[in-house]
A and B are shown apart, each in its own frame.
Chain A
Amino acid sequence: MSKLDATDIQGIVLRGYNLPFARYLFLEIADAQRGREFIGKLLYRITTGEHWDEGKPEWTLNIAFTHKGLVNLNLPDASLLSFPVEFLQGMKARGEILSDTGENAPEKWDSIWREGRVDIWLAVNSKAKTTLDTLGAELQRVVDETGGAKVVGVQDAGSFWIDGAWSSKEHFGYTDGFGNPDYLGVERDTQPGQGKLLADGGWAPLATGELLLGYADEAGELPVAPIPHLLASNGTFMVYRKLHQNVATFRRYLEEKGKLYAGGKEKLASKFLGRWRDGTPVELSPDAPNAEIVKDKLRNVNFTFGNDSDGTRCPIGAHLRRTNPRDAFGFNGRLVNRRRITRRGLPYGPYVPEDQPVEDSGEHGIIFMALNASLFRQFEFVQQQWVGYGNDARLGNDKDLLLGNHEARDKHMIQGTEDPMNPPFVCGGLPKFVELRGGNYFFLPSMTALRMIAAGTVDPR
């Protein structure tokens, strides 16, 4: 596998920008012809994966489409029908699989998602907040000039400024954004622990086809992709989920249970996620956070669960162990290589320090975005089987403590030892810490595909 053509791939696919500000614009296409014109005018502004010779740019711009968006742009039927069925249906229709029911059901979503109005996702990431406004205004001008689309929603997101620096914390206080997989051909500083586990204990990048369409995946197969090949190749699928966080409930629950747990509140928080709130992996340092490990790229994602099959260090149901079980299911981790996703999320809403009062109703949450070649095989599987269910981890019906759509009497087991500071503990009566406010599945095309869409030359024959 040679190096990928990074100039043909949208930048957000190949790297997390790590820029502090983001604005997501949601558009509805007004007219196919003018909609294509609109996309044509945006083309030269779209950020590709090309190498940043002169350091990070001031801003980036990326674009993706729902299936309805592609329909409204008049793509040929033969192409439209060739997309995988879950993308064709959209996230709303997949609610039963995803446990997006009850409080998380589409009826409870924000109106743009509930009404299914979104055709286009436009994402601006920037160094300065003012850029969001200037670039936003410029995009609005293009929208107005072409009349091809209408902005139906805007979502701002961004990192928190804490103690005089940008932080990668989220609202519950956890440091986020560690473990994204490595893929063959993607130029990146690789870290042990981020790809797939090898028999000798080393790590190697995952097959390109786990991230990008048009390349072999971990089974040596091409992911299901639309025709023609040029429309699919170098593109990927994105999940967008607006996850509201009940910060007050989380803090209250942690406080309450932390008093009962002999290891104390912070250790309990670490047993929820599998990382201490500063980011230290519990597996590597179960008794205390360790800033040295957090900083050390050779260690901060480099761990396995094979020697912790009882979960007495990192609980079997801890969030990061559920969503990326590594070698926990045996077979040198090979059972998880086709279930990996790449996350590109950011929190939204103001950060409220631990010592300040906060309410659940406040605008606090995370924009969860994940990229994968197959929504069905990767994101949906993780969400259904590992977040919403526990059987693979031998946890019965238990759900992910943080993300689970909990019902009364749901619980999270923390395995323990005879050490009085590391006792077994049951977190019962789990409230809903996170609620879904909407989202959808998007197709993130290559630059070539975008040009074809803009020119109306997608030809499936």
Chain B
Amino acid sequence: MANQSGDVYGLTILSPILQDLTAETSHNCAIRMKLASMPGDESSPFAKVSSTHMARLVVMDDVVYVGMPSCEEHLKSQYLVFETNFDGELDEYLTRMAREIPADVDALWQHCWGYPGTKDVAAFIAYMKKCQITTTFYFADVNNHTVQETLTALQTQAAVAEFIERNQGKAAAELQIAFAHFLEKLRKAPPPVPGRPEKGGPPRIETNMKWATRNAANTKQVTPNE
């Protein structure tokens, strides 16, 4: 089951992009424009499907010919590549995509061959499965904990660090009371919300956990010669 690693599912989809020489804006350009307008961080529409660990969309143009001695080859078409790691089963995830972010999904895939749209969920699922290829590599940070478990663990870790910082050095009895109080509060805390909450939605719990995507340092350098 290469597409599954523990409870995490790795989905790779290659959808052939329409070629229409008469179009004012070619379909691949239209996809690129839509992608460029979408936020890449936790406010991405794909983060609204709350079981998503990561999602990546790429327009694959062609095989780049790098000169001799390699031979020149070309793909039959351009492809929209969609990669995502999520919790649970494929059908459920695709259903959620169709139901929770139909406008964004349609805006992208309407430029692909044979795309039926999201209204007919069964047809949408069948189409996506037809475009699926086997996933063999996963996002490195995915470790068989659900998004919810990971967020809860991070929230707990940050809260515990804050608790220790506030209370370290206190006498045992005092510490015990404080800890009991803290534990109670932690248990009652609402679960953290994946993605960026909608305006007016439940507030994110304040901890000193910062979202890595907001941290410039998280933009990892890629050393080309490694």
Cα(A338)–Cα(B208), bound, Å = 33
B76 at the interface (CB under 8 A from A): no
Asked if A283 is at the interface of the complex by the 8 Å CB criterion, the answer is no
User: Does A227 touch B at the CB level, under 8 Å?
Assistant: no
Least CB distance, A193 to chain B, in whole angstroms: 25
A sample of 14 cross-chain residue pairs with beta-carbon separation below 8 angstroms, ordered by A number, consists of A101-B216, A385-B220, A388-B217, A389-B218, A396-B154, A396-B157, A396-B209, A410-B208, A413-B161, A426-B162, A426-B164, A426-B168, A427-B165, A428-B162
Taking CB atoms, residues of chain A closer than 8 Å to B162 are: 426, 428
Q: Which residues of B contact A219 (CB under 8 A)?
A: 225-226
Is A461's beta carbon under 8 Å from chain B? no
Contact with A along B133-161 (1 / 0, CB 8 A): 00000000000000000000010010001
Instruction: State whether A260 touches B168 (Cβ < 8 A).
Output: yes
Q: In the assembled complex, which residues on chain A have CB atoms less than 8 Å from the CB atom of B154? A: 396
Shortest Cβ distance from A97 into B: residue: B221
**B215 at interface by CB-CB < 8 Å:** yes
For residue B161, which residues in chain A have a CB less than 8 angstroms away from its CB?
A: 411, 413, 426, 428
Whether A384 is near chain B, meaning CB under 8 Å from some CB there, is yes
Known contacts A260-B168, A426-B161; is-contact A376 B223 (Cβ 8 Å)? yes
Q: With A96-B216, A397-B212, A413-B161 known to touch, is A381 a contact of B225 (CB < 8 Å)?
A: no
B202 interface contact, C-beta 8 A: no
- In the complex, whether B169 has a CB less than 8 A from a CB of chain A is yes
B164 contacts A376, C-beta separation under 8 Å: no
In whole Å, how far is B226's beta carbon from the nearest beta carbon of chain A?
A: 7
Chain B residues near A96: list those with CB within 8 A: 216
**Contacts of B169 on A, CB cut-off 8 Å?**
259-262
User: Are B208 and A409 touching (Cβ within 8 A)?
Assistant: yes
Residues of B within 8 A of A423 (CB): 168
**Residue-wise interface mask of B (187-217) relative to A, using a CB-CB cutoff of 8 A (1 in contact, 0 not):** 0000000000000000000001110100111
> Known: A396-B209, A411-B208. Is A384-B168 also a contact (CB below 8 A)?
no
Complex CA gap A364/B220 in Å reads 33
- A119 interface residue, CB < 8 Å from B? no
Between A and B, how many residue pairs show CB distances below 8 Å? Answer: 63
Q: Is the CB of A425 within 8 A of B168?
A: yes
Q: How far is the CB of A264 from chain B (nearest CB, A)?
A: 12
User: Min CB distance, B152 to chain A, in Å?
Assistant: 15
CA–CA, A268 to B209, complex, Å? 24
Interface string of A416-427 (1 = CB under 8 A from B): 000000011111
Chain B residue numbers with a CB within 8 Å of A397 are: 209-210, 212, 215, 217
List the A residue with the shortest CB-CB distance to B210: A397
Residue A332 lies at the interface, judged by CB distance under 8 Å to chain B = no
* B208 near A389: Cβ-Cβ < 8 Å: no
Q: How far is the CB of A378 from chain B (nearest CB, A)?
A: 10
Given A385-B217, A385-B220, A389-B215, A428–B165 Cβ distance below 8 Å?
yes
Q: How far is the CA of A49 from the CA of B120 in the complex (A)?
A: 75
The answer to whether A377 touches B223, judged by C-beta atoms less than 8 angstroms apart, is: yes
Taking the nearest CB of chain B, how far is it from the CB of A111, in angstroms? 26
Q: How far is the CA of A428 from the CA of B221 in the complex (A)?
A: 29
Residues A229-276 near B (CB distance < 8 A): 259-262
A429 to B165, CA, bound (A): 9
Residue picked from B164, B209, B219, most chain A C-beta under 10 Å: B164
- Inter-chain contacts of B215 with A (CB < 8 A): 389, 397
> Is A360 in contact with chain B by the CB < 8 A criterion?
no
Across chains A and B, which 10 residue pairs bring their CB atoms closest together, nearest first? A428-B165, A389-B217, A260-B169, A409-B208, A426-B165, A426-B164, A388-B217, A397-B210, A426-B161, A96-B216
CA separation between A389 and B162, bound complex, in Å? 19
A380 at the interface (CB under 8 A from B): yes
Q: Please, how many angstroms separate the alpha-carbon atoms of A376 and B212 in the complex?
A: 22
* New contact pairs (12) apart from A260-B169, A384-B221, CB-CB < 8 Å: A97-B216, A221-B225, A384-B217, A389-B218, A396-B157, A396-B209, A397-B210, A410-B208, A411-B161, A411-B208, A426-B162, A426-B164
Chain B residues within 8 Å of A429, by CB: 165
Taken together as a complex, chains A and B put the C-alpha atoms of A101 and B217 apart, in Å, by: 11
Q: How far is the CB of B143 from chain A (nearest CB, A)?
A: 11
Contacts of A307 in B (CB 8 A): none
Nearest A-chain residue to B223, judged by Cβ: A377
Residue of B nearest to A383 (CB): B217
CB pair A411 B217 closer than 8 Å: no
Provide the residues of chain A in CB contact with B212, threshold 8 Å.
391, 396-397
Residue of A nearest to B157 (CB): A396
Complex Cα distance, B216 from A262, in Å, reads: 36
The A196-237 residues at the B interface (CB cut-off 8 A) are 219, 221
Q: Which residues of chain B are near A388, meaning CB under 8 Å?
A: 217
Query: 8 Å CB contacts to B: which residues of A65-102?
Result: 96-97, 99, 101
Contact B217 A424 (CB under 8 A): no
The smallest beta-carbon distance between A82 and chain B, in angstroms, is 16
Q: Which of B165, B210, B212 has its CB near the most chain A CB atoms (within 10 A)?
A: B165
Binary per-residue interface labels of chain B (165-183) against chain A in the complex, 1 for a CB within 8 Å, 0 otherwise: 1001100000000000000
- Contact code string A378-405 (vs B, CB < 8 Å = 1, else 0): 0011001100110100001100000000
Query: Of B216, B217, B220, B221, which is within 8 A of A376 by CB?
Result: B221
A410 to B168, CA, bound (A): 17
